[in-house]
């Protein structure tokens, strides 16, 4: 690492001291380090203590929870906090949005970190995150990476939606470029996941071979496209890099894993997280997806059509007291277990995660039509509440939008949206947009974005 880069890394790359002024970064790191090795009864005691603190604070300062706890007739100081938690309502995206300020502390100590997601369910949402909770989440990601020998400051090649190509207006573009410089300062090479044509993958592979990153991380499908390209062209990473390849927990088929192993010659790990909740589970070298039990509580709710403990994932962030996230429905299905893992960590385990959106369509020429294209363009469209991408035929796509009540999707915004999407989609894709009164969930209860031609008749 160059001197300049290490200086920058200290100055702007790791702004965690700013994130967590009251609790030093070092303390949080120690805390997380200890948390993973706690014995079951110690872990339970820690969770109880943290949950009680959360309930006491939200019961005092957050209007929605003050009312809910009063309705339960519960006393967060004295009663079993786990039981109180079970009595609180689950919150979905729609409620989170509609409750707005009622979900925020009336006496916030600091300003929140604000993020936008349309995420994997196609509904746009502004999420406010407690700075303390954000620091815990961020560093929980580092904890997981450390299981694979990745150290802070190790160079990373990240295939992720940067948004630069969809930025509008000089100010927004400038902001995104600054963010990208920050990524550079902490050793992240950001690569667009929009591989529209062969040359894009070629360029990505060349960059990888030049950068020799310690960690390759990104969307499972994009990593696989890159790996398959490398295998076809006789390219192979290493020796000595990367230490590991990480992907966001989507489905990867065995043949895809084989391509990745051949191209990178490094272990492959999965991370399960979301914009709203951060890292919820991380895979250990023994293969378990360990849940971040010391800083959050995951539950699965009984879901129609699901058996054997499979249910909708609901998350409570134990560290977020000012902008709480309590019993938030992630919209994914999984099973939870507490069977111990041979790695010795006391953290629980997540199994059979399904429901992540990794569906894609192909254009006539074989180009990729990926939901993340629409996800990116959506971030600048305030009027849209949720959307579906319907395949009318090969390369013939209809974007169906449901709008917020009383809002209109004006012509200029529509045209900008279509232009942005087309700039990221293969050249032979035809895209039209329609506004729908109401977009229903699937029979499974999961709101799916990508609707293949075989189901298109239900929507068009
Ligand atoms: Zn383990």
Ligand 1 center–CA 245 separation, angstroms: 17
Ligand 1 center–CA 383 separation, angstroms: 44
Give the HSE-up count for residue 67: Cα atoms under 13 Å, Cβ half-sphere. 6
Per-residue pLDDT, 134: 85
Ligand 1 center–CA 342 separation, angstroms: 6
Is pLDDT above 90 for 14?
no
Contact between 105 and 57 (Cβ < 8 Å): yes
Taking a 5 Å cut-off on Cβ, the residues next to ion ligand 1 are 284, 286, 288, 341, 343, 345
Ligand 1 center–CA 320 separation, angstroms: 26
Contact between 204 and 191 (Cβ < 8 Å): yes
Ligand 1 center–CA 86 separation, angstroms: 28
Ligand 1 center–CA 19 separation, angstroms: 29
Per-residue pLDDT, 357: 40
**pTM recorded for the entire structure:** 0.74
Ligand 1 center–CA 267 separation, angstroms: 15
**Of 326, 448, 460, 277, which is closest to residue 53 (Cα–Cα)?**
326
Long-range contacts, stretch 294-297, CB < 8 angstroms, 24+ apart: 294/31, 294/32, 294/35, 294/36, 294/38, 294/43, 294/46, 294/47, 294/318, 294/347, 295/32, 295/35, 295/50, 295/133, 295/136, 295/137, 295/140, 295/319, 297/47, 297/51, 297/85
Is pLDDT above 80 for 264?
yes
Per-residue pLDDT, 164: 45
Q: Helix, strand or coil for residue 383?
A: coil
Task: List the structure tokens of 119.
Answer: 């995420």
Average pLDDT of the chain, as a whole number: 83
- CA gap 279, 272 in Å, rounded: 6
Per-residue pLDDT, 442: 57
Residues whose CB falls within 8 Å of the CB of residue 131, separated by 6 or more in sequence, listed in order: 19, 20, 21, 110, 111, 112, 113
Chain centroid to CA 86: 25
Residues whose CB falls within 8 Å of the CB of residue 345, separated by 6 or more in sequence, listed in order: 36, 37, 284, 290
Per-residue pLDDT, 319: 95
Ligand 1 center–CA 26 separation, angstroms: 24
Ligand 1 center–CA 340 separation, angstroms: 8
Domains of the chain (ranges; CATH) run 360-458 (3.30.300.30)
Contact between 228 and 259 (Cβ < 8 Å): yes
Phi, psi of 361 (to 5 degrees): -115, 165
Ligand 1 center–CA 110 separation, angstroms: 36
Ligand 1 center–CA 53 separation, angstroms: 28
Q: Helix, strand or coil for residue 455?
A: helix
For 366-425, write each residue's pLDDT tens digit: 777 877 788 778 777 888 877 889 999 989 999 999 888 888 999 999 999 999 999 989
Ligand 1 center–CA 344 separation, angstroms: 6
Pairing of strands 360-362, 368-370: antiparallel
Per-residue pLDDT, 128: 86
- Give the pLDDT band (50/70/90) at residue 341: very high
Ligand 1 center–CA 123 separation, angstroms: 34
Annotate 258-304 with DSSP letters as a single string. HHHHHHH-S-EEEEEEETTTEEEEEE-TTS-EEE-TTTEEEEEEE-T
Stated as kind and residue range, the H or E segment containing 42 is helix 40-61
pLDDT top residue among 187 and 350 = 350
- Give the pLDDT band (50/70/90) at residue 430: very high
Phi, psi of 455 (to 5 degrees): -110, 0
Stated as kind and residue range, the H or E segment containing 190 is strand 188-191
- Of the listed ranges 69-78, 346-355, 427-436, the one predicted with least confidence: 346-355
Ligand 1 center–CA 282 separation, angstroms: 9
Ligand 1 center–CA 347 separation, angstroms: 8
Pairing of strands 296-302, 384-393: unpaired
Ligand 1 center–CA 286 separation, angstroms: 5
Q: What percent of the chain has pLDDT over 90?
A: 45
Q: Helix, strand or coil for residue 351?
A: strand
Where does residue 211 rank: exposed (0-12), middle (13-18), buried (19+ CB within 10 A)?
Answer: middle
For 435-448, write each residue's pLDDT tens digit: 998 877 654 444 56
Residue whose token pair is 């390209």: 229
Ligand 1 center–CA 275 separation, angstroms: 24
Ligand 1 center–CA 38 separation, angstroms: 13
- Of the listed ranges 9-13, 60-64, 76-80, 182-186, the one predicted with least confidence: 9-13
**Helices (runs of H) and strands (runs of E) counted in the chain:** 14, 19
Task: List the structure tokens of 95.
Answer: 């409620």
Ligand 1 center–CA 346 separation, angstroms: 8
- CA gap 77, 371 in Å, rounded: 45
pLDDT top residue among 35 and 114 = 35
Is pLDDT above 80 for 21?
no
- Of the listed ranges 6-15, 56-65, 90-99, 450-459, the one predicted with least confidence: 6-15
């Amino acid at each position: 690492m160059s001197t300049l880069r290490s200086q920058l890394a200290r100055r702007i790359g790791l702004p965690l001291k700013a994130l967590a002024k009251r609790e030093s970064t070092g303390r949080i790191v120690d805390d997380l380090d200890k948390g993973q090795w706690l014995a079951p009864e110690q872990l339970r005691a820690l969770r109880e203590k943290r949950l009680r603190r959360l309930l006491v604070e939200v019961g005092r300062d957050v209007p929605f929870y003050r009312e809910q706890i009063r309705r339960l007739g519960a006393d967060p100081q004295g009663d079993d906090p786990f039981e109180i938690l079970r009595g609180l309502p689950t919150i979905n995206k729609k409620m989170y949005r509609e409750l707005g300020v009622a979900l925020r502390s009336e006496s916030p100590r600091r300003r929140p970190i604000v993020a936008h997601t349309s995420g994997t369910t196609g509904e746009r949402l502004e999420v406010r995150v407690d700075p303390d909770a954000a620091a815990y989440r961020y560093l929980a990601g580092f904890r997981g990476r450390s299981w694979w020998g990745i150290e802070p400051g190790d160079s990373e090649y990240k295939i992720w939606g940067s948004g630069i190509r969809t930025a509008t207006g000089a100010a927004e573009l400038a902001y995104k470029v600054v963010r990208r410089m920050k990524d550079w300062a902490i050793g992240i090479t950001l690569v667009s996941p929009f591989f529209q044509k062969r040359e894009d993958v070629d360029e990505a592979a060349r960059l990888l071979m030049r950068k020799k990153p310690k960690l390759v991380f990104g969307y499972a499908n994009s990593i696989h496209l890159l790996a398959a390209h490398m295998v076809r062209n006789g390219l192979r990473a290493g020796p000595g890099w990367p230490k590991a390849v990480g992907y966001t927990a989507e489905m990867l088929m065995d043949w895809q894993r084989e391509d990745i192993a051949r191209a990178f010659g490094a272990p492959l790990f999965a991370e399960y997280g979301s914009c709203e909740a951060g890292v919820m589970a991380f895979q250990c070298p023994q293969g378990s997806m360990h849940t971040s039990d010391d800083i959050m509580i995951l539950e699965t709710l009984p879901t129609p059509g699901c058996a054997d403990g499979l249910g909708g994932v609901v998350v409570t962030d134990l560290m977020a007291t000012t902008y709480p996230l309590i019993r938030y429905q992630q919209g994914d299905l999984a099973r939870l277990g507490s069977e111990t893992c041979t790695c010795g960590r006391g953290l629980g385990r997540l199994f059979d995660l399904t429901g992540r959106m990794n569906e894609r369509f192909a254009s006539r020429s074989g180009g990729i039509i990926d939901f993340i294209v629409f996800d990116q363009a959506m971030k600048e469209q305030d009027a849209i509440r949720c959307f579906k991408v319907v395949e009318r035929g090969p390369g013939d796509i209809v974007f169906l939008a449901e709008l917020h009540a009383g809002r209109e999707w004006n012509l200029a915004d529509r045209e900008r949206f279509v232009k942005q999407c087309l700039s990221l989609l293969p050249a032979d894709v035809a895209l039209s947009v329609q506004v729908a009164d109401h977009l229903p969930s699937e029979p499974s209860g999961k709101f799916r974005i990508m609707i293949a031609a075989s189901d298109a008749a239900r929507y068009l």
